Structure 1
Amino acid sequence: MDAPHHATRDTSVAQAPALPLLSESKSRRFGLTVGPVLYLWSRARLLDFYAEIAESPADCVVLGEVVCARRRELRLDDWLALARELTQAGKQVILATQALVETEADLRLIERHAHLACHAVEAGDASALALLHGRVPLVLGPHVNVYSQAALREHADLGVLRWVPPLELSLAAVAHINPAGRPVRGPDGGAIVTEVWAFGRLPLSFSARCFTARHASVPKDQCGYPCMDDPDGRLVRSTEGQSFLVLNGTQIQSAGVHNLLEHDAALASCGATRVRLSPQSSGFTKVIEDFDAVLNGDQPAEGRLAGWAEAGVPHPLVTGYAFGGAGMNAVQAEVAGVDA
């Protein structure tokens, strides 16, 4: 693939390449999806990052700004240019919409996605579903509230082909909503694919206010982008000194990094056939390689996490939500009693 440093070239929508509608790999047990970059990185850093992703084992990439409409290091035409280059590198590309839609301009941006028939779109909220259903292939993002099989069936009728369960759902709950043996199916009879968030700090909430701007004592509309100083968000500690939360603009994240590398059996038993890996600024390509080696190469997970720490992957690593515990805790699958 040509390095995406030329992402501003040839940005006409009409020249975007055709894309199979979320076809799933038959050669892997688990597809590997790189989620959207949730932090404010410079343009150069983003382009370097996606050049590395193009050479990684990940087979799917979600592109776009989902946290704050004021972040414009890359605009939609730039994302489309990156999408073309990643597609040429053999990646499946999905365009993401914002998780919090506040203005008419936000709605117009979503409307533009409806004209991009060459790409599926990940709906960040219900407004995107309302505008896009029946017009493009759809993915349910992790912030769309689907907590029952009946709710997933309703969304399947809108043309949804894949869903990322809400992050607080346990794997046992995911298995009940979209069982491996009896998956929810869309109008065409195709099974809805389950993609579980398997790595990264967990987005816990969004707000119309900007937490990072408030912390920097600047107005949101004239913030000067202080969040660019924190490539993995700004860590907040409790009065006892414990890592508590991370501020990321209008988003609050967990301080712990959710990690299911060592739980491939639990992932398979819940019906997941894809995992989502959320980008961090350091060590992320090693994370992708290790997930591919363990989930698709039958290699042991033991000893790999020490390499993550050496590569700069943020810690602590947590698993609590996946097994019915507190999100900030590390809970073992056998203790939580996940059905196989």
Structure 2
Amino acid sequence: MPGTDMRLSLGPMQYFWPRERTLAFYREVESWPVDVVYVGETVCSKRRELRTADWFDVAARLVDAGKQVVLSSLALIEAESEVSVVRRQVALGKYWIEANDVSAVQLCRENGVPFVAGPSLNVYNHEALALLVEDGLQRWVPCVEQGHALISDIVEATRAAGRAMPELEVVAWGRPPLAWSARCFTARALDLPKDQCGFRCIDYPDGLALATRDGDQLLRINGVQVQGEHIVDLSPEIPELRDLGVGLLRIQPQAEGMEQVLAHFRQALASKVSQPGLARRSGYWHGVPGMFTGPAYIGDS
């Protein structure tokens, strides 16, 4: 409901880091001011520095630290071995599941496990949202391209139909994921076969930068995922998000500067008025094409 106190969540790690770095990151998360933490591999099943059992161990430690933990599934499930990982997550029975693929929705529905509709699970109208609620949906994370107008329309249509809205979570910080593919873009960029990639993603802790022929930074390649180059920041939109009924703001993990980002969002949440951001404002959110260059943000040049 509008005016609800907002909380912070930490999204699943999108990049591929060495095992010890990943475990050290989540040990730090235990003391960070976030309320909900998503854990698990969402991009590529070949990234196996941490096994499924290791992710369960990370989840247990975070619960002991007072966090709500959600186990995240792959955004692109292509093989039975990948389905089996979701089956293990569901069978554990301790946590909600972030369903980033319809296969995960089906397994949650069959086993009566509550789930979150992740940002790669396309939900573009209130009827689709209602069907997912019947299946056990507890929280909805819209796609990054769904801006204020479209989300507002879905919320209003849901309420007009007399249906309860699931908790609403919005991706508020990070490089926007734009596409997933069966092809590995990182392997392609390095002239390697996908099946013999050498796990080279691990060399790029924030993805591989891709520039135009004119030298302008445009995209980040992250294995089978393509992201926008520029981090987008919805912190200046917090008053508007609060009025919309958003309950959770998702911060996407990055290699450096996470504590500064979280401190900034905590300060912005405590304010009654819009605060300047740390990065670019989202053109998607404002419904404008291209890179949004609206009101100034910290670091604008």
1:194 paired residue number: 168
Deviation at 1:268, TM superposition (A): 1.4
1:146 to 93, 115, 123: 123
Is structure 2 residue 193 aligned with structure 1 residue 211?
no
TM-score by length of structure 1 reads: 0.81
The question of whether the paired residues in 2 share the 8 Å contact of 1:178 and 1:184 is answered with no
- In the other structure, the counterpart of 2:284 is 321
| 8 Å CA contact 2:126, 2:158 repeated in 1 | no
Which residue is equivalent to 1:46?
A: 22
Partner secondary structure for residue 201 of structure 2: helix
Partner of 1:254: 228
The CA deviation at 1:332 is: 5.1
Structure 2 contact 175–228 (Cα < 8 Å) conserved: yes
Assess if the C-alpha contact under 8 Å between 2:73 and 2:86 holds in 1: yes
> Cα offset for 1:247?
0.3
2:172/2:234 contact within 8 Å kept: yes
| 1:131 paired residue number | 107
What letter corresponds to residue 247 of structure 2 in structure 1?
T
Counterparts of 1:19-30 in structure 2, within 5 Å, are: 29-30=5-6
Greater RCO, 1 or 2 (C-alpha within 8 Å, sep 6+): 2
Question: Which residue of 146, 153, 175 maps to 1:176?
Answer: 153
Show structure 1 runs of 5+ residues with no match. 1-26, 306-315, 334-340
Q: Secondary structure at the match of 1:51?
A: helix
TM-score by length of 2: 0.91
Post-superposition offset of 1:53 = 1.2
Between Structure 1 and Structure 2, the one with more helix by share is: 2
The residue identity in structure 1 corresponding to 2:144 is: L
After TM superposition, give the deviation of residue 185 of structure 1 in Å: 8.0
Give the match for residue 258 of structure 2: 284
- CA apart distance, 1:182: 3.1
TM-aligned CA deviation for residue 114 of structure 1: 1.8
SS of equivalent residue, structure 1 residue 40: coil
Query: Where do 1:73-88 residues align within 5 Å?
Result: 73-88=49-64
Match of 1:108 in 2: 84
Structure 1 pair 219–300 and aligned structure 2 pair: CA distance change class (3 A): same
Q: Contact between 2:185 and 2:223, CA under 8 Å: does it hold in 1?
A: yes
Are residues 152 and 300 of structure 1, via their aligned partners in 2, closer, same or farther at CA, if it must alter by over 3 Å?
closer
Q: Residue 301 of structure 1 corresponds to which residue in structure 2?
A: 275
SS of the counterpart of 1:114? Answer: helix
Q: Is the 8 A contact 1:319 1:331 kept in 2?
A: no
Q: CA deviation at 1:298?
A: 4.8
Can you give the 5+ residue segments of structure 2 that lack an aligned partner in the other structure? 297-301
Identity level (%): 39
Could you tell me which residue of structure 1 aligns to residue 299 of structure 2?
A: none
Deviation at 1:242, TM superposition (A): 1.5
- State whether residues 116 and 136 of structure 1, in contact with CA within 8 Å, keep that contact through their aligned partners in structure 2: no
Distance 1:65 1:232, change over 3 A: same
